[in-house]
Homo-oligomer: A and B are copies of this chain.
Amino acid sequence: MPIEEMLRFNSQKVEKALEDFLPRQDCRQADLIEAMRYSLLGGGKRIRPALALEFCKVCGGREEDVMPFACAVEMVHSYSLIHDDLPCMDDDDMRRGKPSTHKRFGEALALLAGDALLSLAFETLLKSPAEPARVLLAAKELAAASGYLGMVGGQVIDLDSEDKQIDYETLKAMHAAKTGAMILAAARMGCYACGAKEESLAACTAYAKNIGMAFQVTDDILDVVSDAVTLGKSTGKDSRDKKSTYVTLYGLEEAKRMAGAFTKEAVDALAPFGQRADSLRELAFYLADRKN
């Protein structure tokens, strides 16, 4: 299956599952649920859930065990976007080509929709019919990856780094936490869903860390070379905000070379899975080569 088709196929399944896990709106919290739906449904490439689904498949697991994990990861991603866009954070008016959640629903409801999505992520994950010990492993992974040393921690390094030149180590630590941790968690949760053995988990970890890096370097490149319509969000923002990026630190060509090197590392790490991991190989190339 070509990679775009695999992503679309998984994305449709995830979209349906998200619909099922989202609460019904016939209650006093209808506005809140509307805001949660607005940010969660109908957009995004669903890369993180795809990683969870694919790793579970490659390791021989069942889709019903992993789907709650995949949806939980996407809910955390969605909550992070809502909070990132708030005026006290990045103050972004647009997201995925439409008004950001607080522009559409107001700040208070956006804040609460983000909060509620994080709780819902755990509620959803915990519905997995996988063995309790496996569900606990996945919940621990999600809690750590979303927290102070993971996604939120990366945001803090990002805030600290505004308007100043930062070094490679700091940039790498920021991205490993801010975007890398959840990409890694998604992939590993795919392995947990089926009780994958240590060797598989190690291969998965190496792959996910490297595509996380490649993904971020590519993000920095796209901010320079793409346009707002293709990207679905403002471009040139990094240089306006005087942010250090792989491009400002190393230049465009070297950044492209780095994205390629991380991608190769990722693909090499999949060796233990043989041909079963072909989709994951294609996904790595796709992410480094994407246009938005």
Q: Which residues of A contact B (CB under 8 A)?
A: 23, 27-29, 31-33, 36, 83, 86, 88-89, 106-109, 111-112, 114-116, 118-120, 122-123, 126, 132-133, 135-136, 139-140, 142-144, 146-150, 152-153, 155-157, 159-160, 170, 173
Contacts and interface: CB of A to CB of B under 8 A. Distances in A.
A139 B126 contact: yes
28 contacts: A23-B149, A28-B157, A28-B173, A29-B148, A29-B149, A32-B156, A33-B148, A86-B111, A88-B106, A88-B108, A89-B108, A112-B152, A112-B155, A112-B156, A112-B159, A115-B118, A116-B152, A116-B153, A119-B148, A122-B139, A123-B144, A123-B147, A126-B140, A126-B143, A132-B132, A132-B133, A132-B136, A135-B136
A150 B23 CA distance: 13
B119 A159 contact: no
A32 B153 contact: yes
Tell me the dominant secondary structure on chain A's binding face. Answer: helix
Given A23-B149, A86-B111, A112-B155, 17 more contacts: A27-B153, A28-B153, A28-B157, A32-B152, A83-B115, A108-B159, A114-B115, A115-B152, A116-B148, A116-B153, A118-B118, A118-B119, A119-B150, A120-B147, A122-B122, A123-B143, A135-B136
Given A108-B159, A111-B88, A111-B111, A148 B118 contact: no
